[in-house]
Amino acid sequence: MIHYTCDHCKRPIDPRNEVRYIVKMEVYASLDPAEDVIDGDRDELLEIQEILERLDDVDDDQIGDDVYQQLRYDLCSECRKKFVSAPLGTSSAKQFDFSNN
């Protein structure tokens, strides 16, 4: 039998008696064009598409963690509640601080 452990609290999860939750995340570098480079002849969407296609052809080991990461976590029901209420680890009561852009 496969044994599962909550990646947050490290408590064993028994799949026969409780639900195990899976959290999948992708973290990748932004491909936003520089603001000071304005070229009316450039097709930024095409450039981004070409970069993404090249990434599909490259092994994940060749792409640095600062460019792309896929993360997967198993959570128990209590840790899932905490994660959903504050996915970035911040208090949900905190006010949003929007940027000026």
Amino acid identity of residue 40, one-letter, is G
Question: Residue 97 domain-assigned?
Answer: no
The whole-angstrom separation of Cα 2 and Cα 12 is 11
Cβ atoms within 10 Å, residue 75: 22
Question: Residue 18 domain-assigned?
Answer: yes
Q: What tens digit of pLDDT does each residue of 64-90 get?
A: 777 788 999 999 999 999 999 999 887
Cβ contacts of 42 within 8 Å, gap of 6 or more: 33
Amino acid identity of residue 62, one-letter, is Q
Looking at residue 98, its pLDDT comes to 67
Mean per-residue pLDDT for 33-45?
65
- Number of compact structural domains in the chain: 1
Q: What tens digit of pLDDT does each residue of 3-17 get?
A: 999 999 999 999 899
Question: Residue 83 domain-assigned?
Answer: no
pLDDT confidence tier of residue 58, bands split at 50, 70 and 90: low
Question: Residue 36 domain-assigned?
Answer: yes
Question: Residue 93 domain-assigned?
Answer: no
Q: Which domain holds residue 25?
A: 4-78
Using CA atoms, how far residue 46 sits from 6, 19, 38, 52, in Å, is 41, 43, 16, 10
Question: Residue 35 domain-assigned?
Answer: yes
The whole-angstrom separation of Cα 45 and Cα 31 is 10
